C-alpha cells in the first residue's frame, strides 16, 4: 500500500537530474505519435522486432505496434523479454535529424516539466545518431540547439552529456570526444555508457584524458552490470585512471575499499558525485535498494544524488518512484537531502 502523504511529498519536490538518458526518457505516447504523425515523411515503420532477448523468434515479428499501451509494454520488457538494441532502436530512430531532435527535445522537456524537474543533464551517444545525414559533431550541435529551443517553451534547462558507447575501441572513443570539443562550454560533460561487461574503464583512458584537456567534466557508468569484484575494480579505474568527476550506479560502493584503495575517501577528497539510480538497479539487476546503503554513503560525506536513468523502461521508473522508495526506506529528511544534493551536484556551468 502506497503512503499517499509521502507520495505527494516526493511528487511536489522540484529538483535537478544528473542522470537521465534521452533515448530511455522519451514517453511511449511521444514516440508513437512521431511514428504515426506524417507518413509522407517516409518514417520507418514502428514494428515488432524479429527476435526476443534470447534470440527466439517473436510471433508478432514485423507487425506494427497496435497502440501506445502495446509499445509501453514492449519498452518495459527490456532485458526481461526484449533485447537492449531492439528497445533503444524505437527511440533512436526518432533522433536522426535536426528537425526530429527538435521535436523530441521538446517532448523530453515537457516530460521533465511534468515531473517538476527544472534542470537535467540529459545524455545521449552521438555515435547512435548518425544513421541519416548527421555527423557526430552535427548531432551534438543539433541537440544543443534543440534543447535551447525547448527551454524557451518549457522553462526546463537541459545541459547535455555526451556518452561514449563503450563497445567502441579507444580510437573511436577519441572521435566522440573530438566531436564534442567545439561544444565544451555548452555541454555538462562526457560519459562512458552502455554494456559494461568486458569493457572496463581503463580501455577509455585516452579518450577521457583528451576530454580533460578540452575542459570537459567526466562521469562514468561503473559498477553497474558486473559481478561485485569487477564492479569495484571498475569504480576504482573510473576514479583513478579516468579521473572521473562523477560515477553512476556504483552498486557496491558501500564496501568502501578495493584492494586497499579507499574509494569513498577519494570521492570525498576530489568532490566526485555519485549519480545513483536505485529503481533502475532494482528492476534490471534485482538489486535490493536498501543494500545500496545510500544512507551510509551520505553519512560518510559522499555527494549522493537520486536519478531515474531510463524512466520509460520500467513501470515505476520516474524520479518520484525513486524518491518515494528512499522515503519509505529512510525518511522525509533523506528525501530532502537528495533534493538538496541534486542542486549541489548539478553541472550547470555557472
Query: C-alpha cell of 76?
Result: 518495459
Pairing of strands 261-262, 257-258: antiparallel
**Least Å from the CB of residue 274 to Zn ion:** 13
48 vs 201 by CB, closer to Zn ion: 201
Question: Which helix (H) or strand (E) segment is 178 a member of?
Answer: helix 170-180
**Least Å from the CB of residue 157 to Zn ion:** 20
18 vs 337 by CB, closer to Zn ion: 18
Specify whether the CB–CB gap between 313 and 73 falls below 8 A.
no
Residue nearest to Zn ion (CB): 309
CA distance 226 to 236: 14
Q: Which of residues 287-316 bind Zn ion (CB under 5 A)?
A: 309
**Least Å from the CB of residue 280 to Zn ion:** 7
282 vs 309 by CB, closer to Zn ion: 309
**Least Å from the CB of residue 19 to Zn ion:** 6
46 vs 247 by CB, closer to Zn ion: 247
Pairing of strands 189-193, 15-21: unpaired
Q: Applying CB under 5 A, does 23 fall inside the site for Zn ion?
A: no
**Least Å from the CB of residue 45 to Zn ion:** 28
**Residues in contact with 269: Cβ distance below 8 Å, sequence separation at least 6, in sequence order:** none
**Least Å from the CB of residue 310 to Zn ion:** 7
**Least Å from the CB of residue 56 to Zn ion:** 27
User: Cell 526518432 identifies what position?
Assistant: 94
Count of residues interacting with Zn ion (CB under 5 A): 1
One character per residue 55-74, x = contact with Zn ion (rule: CB under 5 A): --------------------
Angle subtended by helix axes 4-11 and 319-329, to nearest 10: 130
Pairing of strands 189-193, 218-222: parallel
86 vs 309 by CB, closer to Zn ion: 309
Long-range contact list for 256-260, CB < 8 A, 24+ apart? 256/300, 258/232, 258/233
46 vs 325 by CB, closer to Zn ion: 325
Q: Considering Cα of 93, then 308, then 2, then 117, what sign does the dihedral take?
A: negative
**Least Å from the CB of residue 21 to Zn ion:** 6
100 vs 309 by CB, closer to Zn ion: 309
Specify whether the CB–CB gap between 193 and 208 falls below 8 A.
no
Query: C-alpha cell of 251?
Result: 552498486
102 vs 219 by CB, closer to Zn ion: 219
Cα of 241 vs its chain's centroid, Å: 22
Query: C-alpha cell of 9?
Result: 511529498
**Residues in contact with 229: Cβ distance below 8 Å, sequence separation at least 6, in sequence order:** none
Contact residues: Zn ion, CB under 5 A: 309
Amino acid at each position: 500500500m502506497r503512503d499517499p502523504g509521502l507520495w505527494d511529498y516526493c511528487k511536489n519536490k522540484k529538483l535537478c537530474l544528473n542522470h537521465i538518458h534521452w533515448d530511455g526518457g522519451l514517453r511511449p505516447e511521444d514516440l508513437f505519435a512521431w511514428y504515426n504523425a506524417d507518413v509522407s515523411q517516409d518514417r520507418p515503420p514502428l514494428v515488432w522486432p524479429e527476435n526476443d532477448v534470447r534470440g527466439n523468434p517473436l510471433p508478432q515479428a514485423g507487425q506494427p505496434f497496435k497502440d501506445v499501451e502495446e509499445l509501453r509494454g514492449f519498452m518495459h520488457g527490456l532485458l526481461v523479454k526484449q533485447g537492449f538494441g531492439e528497445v533503444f532502436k524505437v527511440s533512436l530512430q526518432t533522433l536522426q535529424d535536426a528537425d526530429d531532435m527538435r521535436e523530441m527535445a521538446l517532448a523530453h522537456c515537457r516530460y521533465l516539466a511534468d515531473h517538476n524537474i527544472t534542470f537535467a543533464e540529459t545524455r545521449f551517444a552521438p555515435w547512435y545518431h548518425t544513421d541519416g545525414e548527421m555527423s557526430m559533431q552535427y548531432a551534438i550541435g543539433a541537440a544543443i540547439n534543440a534543447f535551447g529551443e525547448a527551454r524557451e517553451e518549457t522553462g526546463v534547462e537541459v545541459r547535455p552529456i555526451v556518452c561514449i558507447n563503450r563497445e567502441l575501441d579507444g580510437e573511436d572513443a577519441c572521435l566522440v570526444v573530438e566531436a564534442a570539443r567545439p561544444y565544451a562550454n555548452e555541454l555538462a560533460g562526457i560519459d562512458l555508457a552502455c554494456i559494461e561487461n568486458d569493457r572496463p574503464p581503463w580501455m577509455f583512458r585516452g579518450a577521457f584524458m583528451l576530454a580533460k584537456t578540452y575542459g570537459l567534466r567526466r562521469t562514468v557508468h561503473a559498477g553497474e552490470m558486473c559481478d561485485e569484484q569487477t564492479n569495484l575494480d571498475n569504480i576504482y579505474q573510473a576514479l583513478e585512471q579516468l579521473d572521473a568527476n562523477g560515477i553512476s550506479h556504483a552498486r557496491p560502493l558501500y564496501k568502501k575499499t578495493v584492494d586497499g584503495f579507499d574509494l569513498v575517501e577519494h570521492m570525498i577528497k576530489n568532490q566526485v558525485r555519485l549519480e545513483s539510480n536505485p529503481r533502475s538497479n532494482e528492476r534490471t539487476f534485482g538489486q535490493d535498494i536498501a543494500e545500496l546503503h545510500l544512507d551510509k554513503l551520505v553519512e560518510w560525506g559522499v555527494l549522493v544524488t537520486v536519478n531515474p536513468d531510463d524512466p520509460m523502461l520500467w513501470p515505476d521508473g520516474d524520479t518520484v518512484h525513486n524518491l518515494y522508495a528512499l522515503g519509505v526506506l529512510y525518511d522525509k529528511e533523506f528525501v530532502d537531502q537528495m533534493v538538496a544534493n541534486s542542486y549541489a551536484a548539478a553541472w550547470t556551468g555557472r
